[in-house]
Amino acid sequence: MNITPLGDNALTVTFGNVISPELNDLVLAADAVINNSPFNGLIETVPAYSSISVFYDTRKIKARMDKSSSSFEIAKANIQSSLAGLVKVENKETEVIEIPISFAPEDAPDLELLADESGLTTAEQVIEIFLAQTYRVFMLGFLPGFSYLGEVDERIAMARKESPRTLVPRGSIGIAGRQTGIYSLDSPGGWQIIGRTEMEMFLPGEDPPTRLQAGDQVRFIRF
């Protein structure tokens, strides 16, 4: 566990530099621990793949504490003590969320390309491999409601485009390396687009404002 400043009002706790469900479980456990007993000055936490960032208000931490240590040191010590003995919480039997996808050519502009690149003979094979698996939502980021899921079968993993598209339509499902993600809004983007869903991922009027949360299980089904 490595803790570094993320500017003068935040820090990042890094558990590793790989994408793995085990590390992500630790991140989510840490997220729960920090938010269940928030320290004075805590603003918010941002769980990511294998790290969690903690934003805080320097003024609130320093106001009542010993002036000789920095807010960063105080926040770091706080987090270290609350994460001591952190164990991953047993995965609750989470419901698998089903997301319908269209693989029609207009919704899946990179499907043929991915089939070629991966050495598979048809787009249909790519689809079958993609649908065969249950994915974990590792984190949200990039756009309001954009979810990072994994891991994609190695046979259909593909690097992102060298030059991003200026517009990827909302609902598009892309592949980047062994990650897959759902564009929650129209956006520029460089992921290989293999399908599209009509399901809204960004729910601005609701709480929480996103369909998916880190830790959720997702299955894609053919629409």
Partner 1 sequence: MSLTLLSNGILTTVQDLGRYGARRYGINPGGAMDTKAVRLINILLGNDENEAVLEMHYPAPQIRFDEDVIFSLGGGEFGAALNDSPVGNWRPVFARKGDVLKFAEKRSGTRCYLALKGGFATEKWLGSAATNLKARMGGYQGRALKKDDILEYSEQETEDGSARQIPVTDHQFPFRVSFNLVPRYSAFPTVRVIPGAEYELLSEETRRGFVEQSFKIGLQSDRMGFRLAGKPLKLEKPHEFISSAVSFGTIQLLPDGQLIILMADHQTTGGYPRLAHIISEDLPLVGQLGANDGIGFHVVDINQAEDLVLDFERELNFLKLGVNLGAPASCRQ
Q: Which residues bind partner 1 (CB under 8 A)?
A: 4-10, 12, 14, 17-19, 43-51, 53, 55, 58-59, 62, 70-72, 139-146, 148, 184-185, 187, 202, 204, 208-210, 214
CA 17 to the chain's CA centroid = 14
CA angle (160, 144, 217) in 5-degree steps: 75
Q: Which is nearer to partner 1, 17 or 91 (CB)?
A: 17
Whole-number Cα distances in Å, 161 to 24, 31, 75, 122: 26, 33, 40, 20
Q: Which is nearer to partner 1, 7 or 100 (CB)?
A: 7
Q: How far is the CB of 223 from partner 1 (least distance, A)?
A: 24
Q: Which is nearer to partner 1, 10 or 108 (CB)?
A: 10
**Which residue is associated with the tokens 């047993």?**
90
Strand partners, 145: none
Strand partners, 150: 136, 179
Q: How far is the CB of 128 from partner 1 (least distance, A)?
A: 28
Task: Tell me which long-range contacts 86-94 makes (C-beta under 8 A, separation of at least 24).
Answer: 86/26, 86/29, 86/30, 86/33, 87/29, 88/22, 88/25, 88/26, 88/29, 89/25, 89/28, 89/29, 89/32, 91/25, 94/215, 94/216, 94/217
Q: How far is the CB of 105 from partner 1 (least distance, A)?
A: 28
Q: How far is the CB of 179 from partner 1 (least distance, A)?
A: 9
Q: Which is nearer to partner 1, 100 or 208 (CB)?
A: 208
Q: How far is the CB of 59 from partner 1 (least distance, A)?
A: 6
**Which residue is associated with the tokens 């249909």?**
124
Q: Which is nearer to partner 1, 214 or 218 (CB)?
A: 214
